[in-house]
A and B are shown apart, each in its own frame.
Chain A
């Protein structure tokens, strides 16, 4: 039972820390989205504001990384409790999903902010 004490504690802590980071990122994101959609900005106008903005790029890179940590750990708990999924394949698959999220998230951020 205590075999995985270090792993379990670290995963739990990573989940909470990424949650705290996401709490801030999400609020900022929602406010900016509401602001952007409210004025009925066109694509050109939106992209004119976002392109070349290193500040916003950095923000979304952080956002994507926090998501890539938070989502797989969350899904892991569900996999254990509700799907009864045991074994390392589960963790490898979830880690792979995390990598997928990073790749897709970075390319989306690049498309909008680079």
Chain B
């Protein structure tokens, strides 16, 4: 293997669960940060006119939008689950089981996603 720069080294740390947790947490955070202004705007558009809100609600009935909503709830649950895991790691006295908090965070995400999916 010929590479010219030492910075082309790869680290298998990238596949570790804790790194994946970090990446999911960060990327979901960015996605939510981008989504939030749109979310606020859309609701603001509802204004006082029920009819407009009604029209808006019917528009949100489309399957494409339902899928988008579901994705957003999933992102939110993922971000919140990962965040709770971090709070536990940082504020509770260190124990080995905290490392498997990742599983709990993932479970939380799935549960919320399912609940929302079933509600649709």
Contact = CB atoms under 8 A, between A and B. Distances in A.
Given A23-B80, A34-B116, A78-B30, A71 B53 contact: no
A67 B35 CA distance: 12
A67 to B, nearest CB: 7
A43 interface: yes
B112 to A, nearest CB: 6
A104 interface: yes
Report, as a range, how many residues of chain B touch the other chain: 35 or more
A103 to B, nearest CB: 9
* Max chain B Cβ within 10 angstroms of own Cβ: one of A33, A42, A100, A104: A104
A107 B80 contact: no
Nearest to A71: B33
Nearest to B112: A30
Contacts of A78: 26, 29-30
A26 B47 contact: no
Given A101-B36, A101-B37, A112-B43, A43 B56 contact: yes
B53 A43 contact: yes
B54 A101 contact: no
Interface residues of A, number: 30
Contacts of A37: 119-120
A58 interface: no
A19 B83 contact: yes
A80 interface: no
B103 interface: no
A17 to B, nearest CB: 10
Interface in A74-112: 74-75, 78, 100-101, 104-105, 107-108, 111-112
Interface of A: 16, 19-20, 22-23, 26-27, 30, 33-34, 37-38, 42-44, 46-47, 67, 71, 74-75, 78, 100-101, 104-105, 107-108, 111-112
